[in-house]
Structure 1
């Protein structure tokens, strides 16, 4: 059903901590330069879960009801006025949406680093106010210059992976690695798994993944995205000196693990460490695992104030590199997803839910397993009929 034949739509709206409501909302007409998209699928991620559980993501607290979701793909339902013909967008096109709207005029934007735009409005983020609604709804109007046609061979459901893969591409570009590199990935959520897949596809000879969930590590190994895994024991999220002790103990355990010992040369550390959790103790572990003169990429969003073991890092000339979202990645991410070079990335979409069942998706993501005990990798929520589910 097209938006023209109906006036309201279903939306999944967060009003606060564990206060998620399925509501009916108006469908506005697209404005100048916008296209209207029938959203097919949204992948849930860690920031969505934080908003669901706490009504906030770090220091960014919801001030008004907010539609969650930002990893999405859909089908163009209408073209608004004055959409540039050079975009070659037409009704019926399958597309992915880049959901950060930058100002295009600040210094960062002019340099092409629009991910650092101080005026960025990001869909489903409470960082700016008024908030910009996300993708967990039936229809959304979006700037045409942030909408990308899918390669013909790319399944519509996989369009939702372009957003986390963009984060990974941005991090990998900042790492500037060569084939044959030895990589450590801490955390095997969607971003961590895609980091492993990209590292293997880029010629890394050793890719070791670390997590506290054995099921996710087993999944990474089943896809041949890693050469070894190590499951850290679960423990409290601690900080300061206590966290540093945990990190040191974790590195000793990591070095002693069979996965590390079985790969020649890793006793001296890794060529790059991708920290994809944002957990302080893991962020502290990362520099200890890096080889002399190498890099740590902080991909996970950590706390605003944290303690890092900078002393050893400085003496070893280990570069600590921040990674914030992405810039100029979407076309490459979509091409890479369509190429098949990353392997069976579609298997990451472990669970599918209709919009009206979004709360079940969030609860399964919180547990890390569904009600049958199956590991949840990436829950997908949306109009399942559009993706043949």
Structure 2
């Protein structure tokens, strides 16, 4: 990782120039940093990372209205074409001509936000009130993933939910499930610290710590702590190596995990019908095969599994479970039309406005480690790939501040 000095042009038509104040490090950023690739996307030229950012408007280009110098903004960094059928339907996150900062998908690459200043379309800069911090504003990006996931799930009040993976996206997805009226939200992860955090801060109502090593009568397997990439920030996924467990062994492990996760909710909600075993919806936030298998077994007949995490691209799944239970499997990719909702939620949290019995937890508190300046980016990326620092403290969200 190197720092370069370049000259920035004046903002073009429809653009504003933003002095970046905070950038959060996402799991996809870590993947590019460590492997120069994210899933199937390989960087073929130098790529500036970062896409969870906020800052201040310092220059305004032609054909821009509604912005002033000094405005505080959060950046939505995916720029669709705005003209295709998908865009006109409002699902611009699926636009084939989408350019997304810090992604190698488009060539030349759309450079990320780890820069002192960038020119960005004004239409994709969202103004912020003064009482929302730049750190919290940067977290609007992963919060948008959670908002979009829950929008796709469309829970009804009183629904039950399971969230697998307690990284930033998993936590925020759990919070949004609670915001949408889910009466019980269980979150599962291999990291005790993250599960404890989720319960203590009110992101979820129940927590399950997945044993790092499981022993059965036929075989044993190690459930490994992983950092993966895609739409989500670093999290602890759960993976059983194929060399250790057969598919049938994975399935038995998935059934056991699902049963133990469900037992937590049942113990506190005794009125649940035994014949209606399972949660209404499961949000799979790791992208790992055994987690997806567990999701299918944990979801009740007629329920939904929402694929949030992007990890293992090809998976072997017990799809007969989905067939026989009529479980809907829904994919999500990033987000669309979410920033306004996210800002409203942050405003409500800061102003102490209580809605239907739930207020979004303080997102500033999710930032566990801050690094000053681009010159310290390497240390930030190294720490972001871990779940605890050298002192044993929880690593959740690492940000780089100006």
Structure 1 residue 163: Cα displacement: 0.7
Where structure 2 has 5 or more consecutive residues not aligned to the other structure, the ranges are 213-222, 225-238, 350-358
CA deviations on 1:14-58 (whole Å, 9 max, x unpaired) are xxxxxx122222222211111000000011111111111111000
Q: 2-side partners of 1:110 and 1:231: how far apart?
A: 43
Match of 2:10 among 21, 29, 51: 29
Match of 2:353 in 1: none
2:328 is matched with: 319
Is it true that 1:345 corresponds to 2:363 in the alignment?
yes
Q: Secondary structure at the match of 2:303?
A: strand
Conservation of the 8 A alpha-carbon contact between 2:254 and 2:297? no
Change over 3 Å in CA distance of 1:244–1:206 after alignment to 2: farther
- State whether structure 2 residue 267 is matched by structure 1 residue 262: yes
* 2:236 aligned partner: none
Counterpart in 2 of 1:71?
52
Pairs within 5 Å for 1:263-302: 263-264=268-269, 265=272, 268-302=277-311
Shift of 1:228: 1.4
- TM-score computed with the length of structure 2 as normaliser: 0.86
Residue 109 in 1 paired to residue 121 in 2?
no
| Aligned mate of 1:248, from 248, 252, 257 | 252
Of the structure 1 ranges 185-194 and 364-373, higher mean CA displacement relative to structure 2 is found in 364-373
Q: Secondary structure at the match of 1:286?
A: helix
Aligned to 1:387: none
Write the distance in 2 (CA, Å) between the matches of 1:256 and 1:274: 17
**Alpha carbons 1:212, 1:231 under 8 Å: kept:** yes
User: Helix, strand or coil for the counterpart of 1:210?
Assistant: strand
- Preserved CA contact (<8 Å) 2:283 2:307: yes
Name the stretch that deviates more: 20-29 or 358-367.
20-29
Specify the SS of the correspondent of 1:135: coil
Q: CA deviation at 1:91?
A: 0.7
1:369 Cα deviation after fit: 1.5
Q: TM-score, normalised by structure 1?
A: 0.89
**Partner Cα separation in structure 2 for residue 332 and residue 266 of structure 1:** 35
1:349 Cα shift?
A: 0.9
The CA deviation string for residues 131-189 of structure 1, in whole angstroms up to 9 with x for no partner, is 00111111010001001101343222211111111111111111111111111000011
2:161 to 162, 167, 183: 183
Contact 1:254–1:260, Cα closer than 8 Å, also in 2: no
Residue 71 of structure 2 corresponds to residue 93 of structure 1? yes
Q: Do the aligned residues in 1 keep the contact of 2:184 with 2:265 (CA within 8 Å)?
A: no
The answer to whether the 8 Å contact 2:258/2:297 transfers is: no
Distance 1:316 1:211, change over 3 A: same
Gaps of 5+ in 1: 1-19, 384-389
Distance 1:266 1:229 in 2: 21
Match of 2:120 in 1: 142
Aligned partner (choices 20, 37, 40) of residue 56 of structure 1: 37
Q: Does the alignment pair 1:161 with 2:139?
A: yes
Q: 1:189-268 counterparts in 2 under 5 A? A: 189-234=167-212, 235-236=223-224, 237-238=239-240, 242=246, 245-256=249-260, 259-264=264-269, 265=272, 268=277
Spell out, residue by residue over 1:206-249, the C-alpha distance to the aligned partner (whole angstroms, 9 max, x if none). 11100111111011111022221111133253477835633531
> Is 2:386 aligned against 1:382?
no
Residues 248 and 285 of structure 1 are in contact (CA less than 8 Å); yes or no, is this contact kept in structure 2? Answer: no
Cα distance between partner residues in 2 of 1:127 and 1:358: 23
Moved more, 58-67 or 262-271: 262-271
